[in-house]
Amino acid sequence: MTTATAERTYTIEQVSAETGLTPHTLRYYERIGLLEEVPRAVSGHRRYTEDDLGWVRFVVMLRQTGMSIADSLHFMELTRAGDHTIGDRVRVLRAHRDDLVAQLAVLQRHLGAINRKIDIYEGLLER
C-alpha cells in the first residue's frame, strides 16, 4: 500500500514572516503579476508551496538589490513565457548585475571615506 504525501504549504502569514514582506505586499505582487496566482485552500486562503516560496524569495532578492517593480515584472513575464526567453532573462540579469557592481564600487569608495574620517576622529580622541 502506498500513501500519497501532501506537499507542504504555507499560509500568507508564514510566508510574510519568512520573507519580511507584508501580507498586503504579497497580495499586491500577486495582483500585478509579479508572483503567479497562489493556490487556495478550500477556505479560500492562499496556500503557498515550496516553489511559490522560492519565487517570493527571488523577488525579494531582486527588490532588495534595487531592481524596480517594472523590471522585476518584465523578468517574471519572460520566465513564464518559456525557455525561448532564456537569452532575454540573462540579459536582464546581467544588466542588473552590472548596476550592482557599479553601486558596490560607489559604496566601497564611500566606506573608505567614512573609515578615514573615523580614523581622524579617533586620533583626535587619543590626544
- Evaluate whether residue 74 is within a structural domain: yes
Residue 6 inside a domain? The answer is no
- CATH code at position 89: 1.10.1660.10
Domain residues for the domain of 43 are 12-126
Read off the DSSP letter of residue 85.
G
Kindly give, in sequence order, each residue whose CB lies less than 8 Å from that of residue 32, ignoring residues fewer than 6 positions away. Answer: 69, 73
Please tell me the total count of domains within the chain.
1
Instruction: Identify whether 19 is part of a domain.
Output: yes
In this structure, are residues 12 and 48 in contact, taking their beta carbons and an 8 Å threshold? yes
Tell me the pTM. Answer: 0.82
pLDDT digits (tens, 9 = 90+) for 73-112: 999 999 999 999 999 999 999 999 999 999 999 999 999 9
The CB-side HSE value for 35 (13 A sphere, CA atoms) comes to: 28
